[in-house]
Amino acid sequence: MEEELRSLLQDLETLKRSVPDPDQNDSINKLQQRVDKIMSMSKLGSARRSKVKDMSAEVVDSNPYSRLMALQRMGIVQNYERIRDFSVAIVGIGGVGSVAAEMLTRCGIGRLLLYDYDTVELANMNRLFFRPDQAGMTKTDAAVQTLSDINPDVVLESYSLNITTVKGFEIFIESLKRNQKQGANTGVDLVLSCVDNYEARMVVNQACNELNQTWMESGVSEDAVSGHIQLLNPGETACFACAPPLVVASGVDERTLKREGVCAASLPTTMGVVAGLLVQNTLKYLLKFGQVSPYLGYNSLKDYFPTMEMRPNPQCSNSACLERQKEYAQAKPARDALAKAKLEAEASLSNEGPLHVDNEWNISVVDIDSEKTSAASRSSDALPEGLMHELPSSDRLQESPLAQETITISDDLEDLQRQLDALNAA
């Protein structure tokens, strides 16, 4: 294609020379500029990397997964490559959702389902991800354009629809159910809610309660300085309706609360932090490492990160939530037996010889009570010539205080007795 465009440029140049009228030259110049633009665009397109069949841990600059596979070598993740088996649905491709989608794409997630009904606007440019040249495109299409360039290995599905409409909700449920996984009601491993209103959150909550689908909720405050993420596992944890926010509980239409000409504030920083927390929790949940946070808040003004757990409400207004609660309670004996078996398996494993067979870094265990160690710790007390400790060392403090104190107290008592005797004598 590039060659054809080049020859077209040459033809235009020849045509320009053969035309005596300079007015006509102008339009030929414009044509040349357009061909130039198409050429640079085609060059951009050809810069895309090809798909990678298997994730490799090989440390070479051309391997897009070497840094991620290193997590396995460092002992953080047992099997990083499993990430390719996972499907994640992201509802709301705004300031948080788009960044979360990019992070998961860069991590090599298997499949991403993207839901949004909005279009990219210049007013979105204070946030990360979208570019000014994407203004006017649907957010899902613009996201697919960028994400497929970043990592063509990820299967991307774009749904430009409003899940709060009856039709939208149907398509949403159907799309989640597609490619159903063994032993599950859906084809996705996790749903991430990155929407900016309660109505959509309640819809995600409804769908996930009905499908018994684990999901994570995220949100950023309207003043842009705080946010949160929350894990919702139907039946096990509180659902979004178990402890509804005041706006939802009071039944007020939140759209009536918005004032004309006044919009919510937003910062790329807070949204980036919340997206980071959300995807970190997602990776921990999917790849089974570290502790998955049930709730993590973020207050940027005080750098305060509150955490808490929320149990389901037995009086929840959502009937699907009550059904899941009942199922969860009924499955308790089986869950306990499984946990016990797991504990026993771990205990027997820990009795089976060394934990690490090879010792690449020659790490050895030293007895902290040994003579060698205590001698070493004493030598650390030694100071250069001319300096002395102002306070006694902790060892010396532990050795003597009781004995010294007894002497002092008895001295004081004898002294008092003498003074008393002298007074009596006088």
Report, in Å, the least distance between residue 313 CB and Zn ion: 6
316 binds Zn ion (CB under 5 A): yes
Give the shortest CB-136-to-Zn ion separation in angstroms. 40
**112 contacts Zn ion (rule: CB under 5 A):** no
Using the minimum distance from each CB to Zn ion, give the nearer residue, 116 or 236. Answer: 236
Distance, in Å, from the CA atom of 111 to the CA atom of 156, rounded to the nearest integer, reads 6
Determine, following the binding rule CB under 5 A, whether residue 208 of this chain makes contact with Zn ion: no
Q: Interface mask (CB under 5 A) for Zn ion, residues 361-400, using x and -?
A: ----------------------------------------
Nearer Cβ to Zn ion, position 104 or 203? 203
The size of the interface with Zn ion (CB under 5 A), counted in residues, is 6
As measured in angstroms, the least distance from the Cβ of 242 to Zn ion is 3
Q: Cβ of residue 235: shortest distance to Zn ion, in angstroms?
A: 9
Q: Could you give the CA distance from residue 240 to residue 282 in angstroms, rounded to a whole number?
A: 18
Contact between 194 and Zn ion by CB under 5 A: the answer reads no
User: What distance lies between CA 116 and its chain's CA centroid?
Assistant: 20
Q: Quick check: is 263 catalytic?
A: yes
Which position among 242, 263, 316, 321 bears the catalytic label?
263
**Residue whose CB is less far from Zn ion, 249 or 376:** 249
Selected range binding Zn ion among 15-23, 231-239, 285-293, 380-388, rule: CB under 5 A:
231-239
By CB under 5 A, residue 204 contacts Zn ion: no
Both structure tokens of 398: 């532990």
Nearer CB in complex with Zn ion: 176/241: 241
The nearest distance, CB 331 to Zn ion, in angstroms, is 17
Residues assigned a catalytic role: 263
Residues that bind Zn ion (CB under 5 A): 239, 241-242, 316, 318, 321
